[in-house]
Structure 1
Amino acid sequence: MNKILITGATGFLGSKILKKLVEDDYNVVALVRKTSNLNRIESVKGDFDLFYFNEKSNNLNELFENYKIETIIHTATEYGRNAKTSEVLKTNVIFPIQLIEFGLERDLKLFINSDTFFGKPEYSNSAYLNQYTNSKKYFLDYLFCKREGFKAVNLRLEHIFGEFDSDNKFVTDVLHKMLKSEKEVLLTDGLQKRDFVYVEDVVNAYLKVLRNIDSIANISEFEVGRGESVSVRQFVELMAEQTKSKSKLFFGGISTRKGEIQNSVANILPLNDLGWKPIYDLKTAIRKMIELELR
């Protein structure tokens, strides 16, 4: 049977997409490394196929020989915070290109890419996460310019948040400090604005694209957010309100990063046209996140 290949399946977003695909009875194969932590997908283990990628032997040919893969949902990424540029390029550029090359030798029909709002043309001069954003741009250029014989869809994601994200992510880090009622939480002035979007809404955007793929152009991009931005300060204060934390919020205690994007908001009209809209307002999403984190 035709398979959907998902990369980054043990990550925050990828694991939630995997669970939703399995719930909806899609045939899925998850591509992971031998060193991957499978904790996030233990609950659905056995309901999908697991393929271990061997970087040394590069066994992608075996993957495509064993499975009839028509769709790839690519969520794997390297942010490059503590990685060499060569590692960032290997993960964010070379690896997905190899997937496409092997896929085109067989049954590949669709490639759904996960991108970042940092890569919007209007932010091209931003220095923040430079090697990461540049690597995403390099691959997108390849995907859209070299694409032949398959559909290419780019999902440009705004600031995703939700339960069980990595501890070093901003929302998770601040939330955990609040839940522990740390004496003081150091923050920037928080005036920069972000389109915060709950992860469950993002997962539903992927599924909406998948279900409507026949009506989508061969080369397409969708921005995924709530369609409105709020200041980081407002968002943090909303978390403090929902946690009833006793922590003191010290805005301005940390310098704002050089090259920080001051305001980002998604144009969600194209997704609306597919029948998708965000379900969760920020207060409801934060409350749900807290409840699940405290279980």
Structure 2
Amino acid sequence: MTVLLTGSTGFLGSYLLKYFVNAGYKVIALKRTTSDTYRIDKYLDRVTTYNVDTINVNMIFNKHQIDIVINTVTNYGRKDTNISSIIDTNLMFGLKVLEASIDARVRAFINTDTLLERNINTYSLSKAQLVDWMQFLSNKNTKIINVKIEHMYGPLDDENKFIYWLINQLKQNIDQIDLTSGIQKRDFIYIEDIVSAYNTIIENIEKLSNYEEFELGAGESIEVKTFIEKIYSELSNKQSLSTKLNFGAIAYRENENMNMIANIEKLKQLGWAPKTSIENGIKNILNGES
């Protein structure tokens, strides 16, 4: 089976790439010329790579017989707040790959989405707009699957993400970290459980309708404060900590969702279930395991 993977150097993309290569799939990895490949350097000689900023996407489909397309490319708008750039990545690029997938009659196009409501920010709106087009084009020969992921975490995530930022602050033993009250609840899902869910979807492609949507998380939510305290407790087993966690010092962002949880019943019906506890996931991050 040949899998075309966008966002192959990113957090989720890199884990999917490693899994598919180790499972014996032929992998075509899309990236930019400027992409940092540190997550997949050991695998580059085992995959076919293309730089999407120097080549036409349609050429790739013309050159290869592709079975499954997985779109993980994402611009969260953290570093680049330019709206047009966010739309180019999250909507226009995804739409180009979707159109090419349909024209090439690939078996399935699997998109990575968010459980955030569409009007929370530019990121969520641009992701939702791609889903609008996915639904509009879902009467074609290619099966279109949308995976809405809750709060994923694990080793090798971006250093500017909240969990890694928090850990780095704690390791430096700074005096105080200002936080929200932390009573908002999130469904934390470990990266390897996410990869296994994608594999389960692929294994069941023939059972799925032309358009399907899955919510992906652990299926239970905990307060962010509790998650932070678990990190603090586990790290304190490795080094002495004196940092004060100043809960309530920061206001919530506008339109903050206070309880996000994924409905994973559809995935469970396909035989999938998360296996990694939050405690073990945190230990893996702190131990640098991946």
TM-score (norm 1): 0.92
Q: How does 1:178-193 map to 2 (within 5 A)?
A: 178-193=170-185
Alignment of 1:25-40 (within 5 A): 25-40=24-39
Alignment-derived partner of residue 260 in structure 1 = 256
CA contact (8 A) 2:10 2:73 kept: yes
- How far has the Cα of 1:222 moved from its partner? 0.9
Structure 1: which 5+ residue stretches go unaligned?
Answer: none
The answer (yes or no) to whether the contact 2:101–2:142 under 8 Å persists in 1 is no
Runs of 4+ in 1 over 4 A off after TM superposition: none
Within-5 A mapping of 1:110-125? 110-119=108-117
In the aligned structure 2, how far is the partner of 1:256 from the partner of 1:105? 44
Q: Which of 121, 131, 143 is the aligned partner of 1:140?
A: 131
SS in 2 for 1:277: coil
Larger deviation, residues 45-54 vs 16-25: 45-54
Q: Shift of residue 77 of structure 1?
A: 0.9
- Aligned length in residues: 284
Deviations along 1:268-290, one digit per CA (max 9) or x if unpaired, are 11111111111011111111111
1:183 and 1:28 map into 2 onto residues whose CA distance is 46
State the shift of 1:85 in Å.
Answer: 1.3
1:219 offset after TM fit, Å? Answer: 1.0
- The partner residue of 1:79 within 76, 88, 96 is 76
Match of 2:15 in 1: 16
2:165 aligned partner: 173
| 2:53 pairs with 1:46 | no
Shift of residue 41, structure 1, vs aligned partner: 0.4
Alpha-carbon offset, residue 168 of structure 1: 1.3
TM-score by length of 2: 0.94
Aligned equivalent of 2:277: 281
- Superposed displacement of residue 136, structure 1: 1.0
Matched residue of 2:122: which SS? helix
* Deviation for aligned residue 1:83: 2.7
CA shift, 1:60, in A, is 1.2
The Cα of 1:161 is off from its aligned counterpart by 0.8
Preserved contact between residue 68 and residue 107 of structure 1 (Cα < 8 Å) = no
Contact 1:178/1:247 (CA < 8 Å) preserved in 2? Answer: yes
* Larger deviation, residues 218-227 vs 77-86: 77-86
Distance 2:37 2:164 in 1: 20
Residue 291 of structure 1: aligned partner: 287
- Does the Cα contact within 8 Å between 1:16 and 1:203 map onto a contact in 2? yes
Give the AA of the match of 1:70: D
5+ unaligned residues in a row in structure 2: which ranges?
A: none
**Which of residues 67, 76, 85 is equivalent to 1:70?**
67
The CA deviation at 1:103 is 2.5
Cα distance between partner residues in 2 of 1:16 and 1:88 = 23
Cα offset, 1:201, TM superposition: 0.7
Instruction: Give the percent of matched residue pairs that are identical in Structure 1 and Structure 2.
Output: 35
Deviation per residue, 1:8-65 (Å, 9 max, x gap): 000011101110111111111000111111111012121111111125xx51122112
Alpha-carbon distance between aligned partners in 2 of 1:21 and 1:38, rounded to the nearest angstrom = 17
